[in-house]
Chains A and B, each alone.
Chain A
Amino acid sequence: MPEHHIVKVEIPALSEYVAVIRLAISGVATRMHFNIEEIEDIKIAVSEACTNVVQHAYPNQTDGKINLVATLSDEKLDIAISDSGKGFDAKNPVSDKQDGSNGVNFGLGLGLTFIRSLMDSSEIISEPNKGTTIRMTKNAPEKKVEEPLTNS
């Protein structure tokens, strides 16, 4: 692989498009030879970040967007999921109850737990009224020892 490749995907911030992002990032992760478990981890982490946008970023808007930028290199897969929605105070991101008491919305807290647990590193950058970016990284799988080329 060259030094790095960049894949960009933009979807409407609507719940029915989150599966599209999962398919896209699954393809990217497969391209990097992550194993099935690692691909599932990446899919969940990316999906949680997008779900957060769908649920929280654009409360009074139907034309909001989610942007995914995946940077592939030999060492790692860097992913950034961004919106230009309402943002929040990144020092206090957990605003929803964690026990399911607020119905089907399980809140950003558990989504963040998944992202932190399933990826090698992550960070949230957010500012009220300017939007949010969640960055996450999965280290590349160890390279398999390639068969030496032989002269025939």
Chain B
Amino acid sequence: MIDFSVEIDKQGPLPIIRVKGEIDVYTCTQLNTSFQEVIQAGAKDIVLNLENIQYIDSTGLGTIAHAAREVQQSDGKILVVCPKPQVRKIFEISGLTSKNITLFDDEPRALGAKNA
């Protein structure tokens, strides 16, 4: 099976969570743990890089929605890097992007949105 990993990059202006592998009912808890670590450290806006995921389902979207609700309390956003059409399709069907979750094609655009 495909290896799953989550890496947190705190070096730049915004924290970046980079995920590899498949986000499903088994792996979404690791993603949730990373979100909690970043939010508890005081982050408002968070970049979630999904460039290297092969799959996401409703449990993954639920994890992202939960994080989005938490950062919304401090007017924060989840900036999702999501260039793959099959992953974008899942976001679009769910209607999740209508909240404080925005999709971008690459990391520079997501980071640039902070200053927009």
Give A contacts to B, CB under 8 Å.
15-16, 18-20, 22-23, 36-37, 40, 43-44, 47-48, 51, 54-55, 99-101, 103-107, 110-111, 113-114, 117-118
Please name the residue on chain B nearest to A108 by beta carbon. Answer: B58
The listed residue (B2, B26, B94) touching A110 by CB distance below 8 A is B94
Give B contacts to A, CB under 8 Å.
1-2, 22, 24-26, 28-29, 32, 55, 57-59, 61-66, 68-69, 85-86, 90, 93-94
**When chains A and B are docked, how far (Å) is the Cα of A104 from the Cα of B64?**
8
**When chains A and B are docked, how far (Å) is the Cα of A55 from the Cα of B58?**
12
Q: Given contacts A23-B1, A48-B58, A117-B93, are A103 and B66 in contact (CB under 8 A)?
A: yes
A106 touches B86 (CB 8 A): no
- Highest count of chain B CB atoms <10 Å: which of A19, A54, A103, A111: A19
A99 touches B69 (CB 8 A): yes
Contact residues in A for B61 (Cβ distance below 8 Å) = 100, 106, 110
**When chains A and B are docked, how far (Å) is the Cα of A99 from the Cα of B22?**
22
**When chains A and B are docked, how far (Å) is the Cα of A105 from the Cα of B57?**
11
Contact residues in A for B28 (Cβ distance below 8 Å) = 104
Q: Given contacts A15-B25, A100-B62, are A114 and B57 in contact (CB under 8 A)?
A: yes
Contact residues in B for A111 (Cβ distance below 8 Å) = 57-58
Q: Given contacts A44-B90, A113-B93, are A19 and B57 in contact (CB under 8 A)?
A: no
B62 touches A106 (CB 8 A): yes
B26 touches A106 (CB 8 A): no
The listed residue (A18, A47, A114) touching B93 by CB distance below 8 A is A114
Chain A min CB distance to B62 (Å): 3
